[in-house]
Structure 1
Amino acid sequence: PLYEEAAEALAVLHAAPPPPGLPAWDAAAMTRATAATFLDWWWPAAFGAPPGPEIRAGLEAALGAMLAPFAGAKGIVHRDYFPANLMRLERREGPRRTGILDFQDAGIGHPAYDLVSLVEDARRDVAPEVRRAALARYLALRPGLDRGEFLAAMAAHGAQRHLRVASLWVRLDRRDGKPHYLRHGPRCWALLERSLSQPACAPLREFLDAHVPRELRRNPPARTEAA
């Protein structure tokens, strides 16, 4: 029940008033973060040259259009809510059984982002039935949320996250000499394609269809292999 318990703790976290001073994790911040991996690292590695200004403008417009419908829902987001940052505290009950680590990147944004981090994990496969059970537990504890809108928000925020993180593995390889992270690339690209199939992700899907052929939607070989 790890994922269901984590979803329960997340529902409590999201329902709490956020502390003052947290940075925004909004469309503008997510666009900057995505450009810093996808355009600055993945694109040159895949195409052999940096993207032009029209590509940067196109990505910004696509992400902005995709995320804009969900700008109204705001609260604390952990931003890296996955099992490696969670501890099961056996002596506790209920939501307090899940200890949460590493709040240093927390911000103010849409709660769907953290659900995506949990059930669409970039580093490990999550079975569909586990994903459904965790989502059901979360929504049951937050009855004020519209299920359809929340699922659309998960698709949009998931598409942004998966594109950014898939490209992050390239940066870790090329800049930091850590090629072992590339093993997570196929999972991230597969999760991205699943998100892109949803109507909420149409702006990003159209951008990628126009500029990134499907056969290139993968991570280039490790730097040592490419040399």
Structure 2
Amino acid sequence: MTEQVLRFRTERFKAFVDAVVAIAMTLLILPLMESVSEAAGDRLTTAEFFTEHSGQLLSFGLSFVLIATFWMGHHRQYRDVERVTGPLLWINVAWMATIVWLPVPTAMIGQMDTDALQAVVYIGTLILTQVTTLAGWLYLLRHPELTTTPAEVARAGVIGDLAAIILFLIALAIAVFVQPYGYAGLLVLLLSGVVTKVLRRIGGHRAGGDSPGSAPRVG
């Protein structure tokens, strides 16, 4: 069977993605629920619970926001996609795998001592999520018949994902080499707008050099 035949309507695909994301976000809270039970058994006060489990609470909040942000980006990316091919479906299966896995390193951050490998697992997962998002944009650029999204919007998505991957890599380096507060390196994500602008300028210069007056081409 050819790729032309293996096309799927998007309704069930989008509903399935939403369900997977909702389950992953729900799983984030389970370790905290167990901690509440343990705190009750130890007769901790509410203030003592929040103090002793502050790391767990922070990791929950961080991962919840990140998954929500990834989901919103995924919604924008596939909002105008009218057909899903086999390869595009597998790209999204890989994306969902990273989302479902994220509660595991999140629990590690909240309940285990911080070490370099833990940072690699957590931020590495975020990088893989962004890489699969980038793969989706590149595929849609090569198959514009699948979506009504303008090519310039898809190219902007590619640049935005590249900027995020660069910043996640910087955050990973900080987390590995700066202990014990290395995860604060994720604050570099606040510079995404700046990095995106730089990449757009670089892309614009290259496109201008190849073909004066033409729009930048990515992928």
TM-score (norm 1): 0.29
Higher relative contact order (CA 8 A, sep 6+): 1
Higher CA-based Rg? 2
Higher helix share: 2
Q: TM-score, normalised by structure 2?
A: 0.30
